[in-house]
Amino acid sequence: MIMLGLPLIQRTIPVFDETPLKGAFTIPQKPTGSYKTVLDGTFQEAYNDHFEHTIGFRPMLVRINNQIAFSVFDTALANGVIIGKENYLFEINYIKAIKGWDFLGEEVIETQMQKAAFVNKKLKEANKTLLFVFAPGKASYFPEYIPDKYLNQPSGENTNYAVFGEKFKKYDLPLIDFNKWFMLMKDTVSYPLYPQCGIHWSAYGVAMATDSLINYIEKDRNIDMVDFGWNGFDFPDTLRSPDYDIAEGMNLLFKIPHYNMAYPKVWFGNNESKTRPNAIVVADSYYWNIFGQGYASSIFNDNNFWYYNTEAHNSAWPTSRKTTELDMLSELGKADVIIIMATEANLYRFPYGFIDRAYESLVKSSDLEISEKPTIDNTIKETEILEIMENIDKNQNYKESVREKAIARGISYQEMLRLDATWVWENKRK
**What is the reported pLDDT for 70?**
96
Partner residues linked to 405 by β-bridges? none
CA distance linking residue 310 with residue 306, whole number of Å: 6
If one compares 75 and 418, the residue with the highest pLDDT of the two is 75
Cβ-proximal residues to 286 (8 Å cutoff; 6+ apart), any chain: 135, 200, 201, 341, 342, 343
If one compares 372 and 402, the residue with the highest pLDDT of the two is 402
pLDDT of 14 strictly over 80: no
pLDDT of 368 strictly over 60: no
Q: Region 400-409: what's the mean pLDDT? A: 83
CA distance linking residue 331 with residue 279, whole number of Å: 10
Q: With beta carbons less than 8 A apart as the criterion, state whether 355 and 116 touch.
A: yes
CA distance linking residue 104 with residue 288, whole number of Å: 26
**What is the reported pLDDT for 29?**
77
Q: Region 152-165: what's the mean pLDDT? A: 94
For 332-342, the pLDDT digits (tens) are: 999 999 999 99
**What is the reported pLDDT for 379?**
54
Which string of b and e fits 183-206 if b means at least 16 CB within 10 Å?
Answer: beeeeeeeebbbbbbbbbbbbbbb
For 178-221, the pLDDT digits (tens) are: 999 999 999 999 999 999 999 999 999 999 999 999 999 999 99
CA distances to 43, 281, 334, 422 from 119, rounded to whole Å, are 52, 15, 16, 28
For 263-286, the pLDDT digits (tens) are: 999 999 998 899 999 999 999 999
For 124-154, the pLDDT digits (tens) are: 999 999 999 999 999 999 999 999 999 999 9
Kindly compute the dihedral angle of the four CA atoms of residues 117, 168, 386, 179, in this order, to the nearest 10 degrees: -140
Which string of b and e fits 297-323 if b means at least 16 CB within 10 Å?
Answer: bbbbebbbbbbbbeebbbeeeeeeeeb
Q: What is the mean pLDDT of the chain?
A: 89
**What is the reported pLDDT for 369?**
43
Where does the pLDDT of residue 383 fall: very low under 50, low under 70, confident under 90, or very high at 90 and above?
confident
Q: Region 51-66: what's the mean pLDDT? A: 82
**What is the reported pLDDT for 47?**
74
3-state secondary structure of 77: coil
pTM: predicted TM-score of the whole model, two decimal places? 0.80
pLDDT of 376 strictly over 50: no
Least confident of 163-167, 314-318, 375-379: 375-379
CA distance linking residue 390 with residue 97, whole number of Å: 13
CA distance linking residue 91 with residue 345, whole number of Å: 9
**What is the reported pLDDT for 371?**
40
Helix (H) or strand (E) holding 382: helix 380-394
Q: Region 112-129: what's the mean pLDDT? A: 95
CA distance linking residue 172 with residue 120, whole number of Å: 10
Q: Domain-by-domain residue ranges, the chain?
A: 1-56, 107-193+202-237+257-376, 381-429
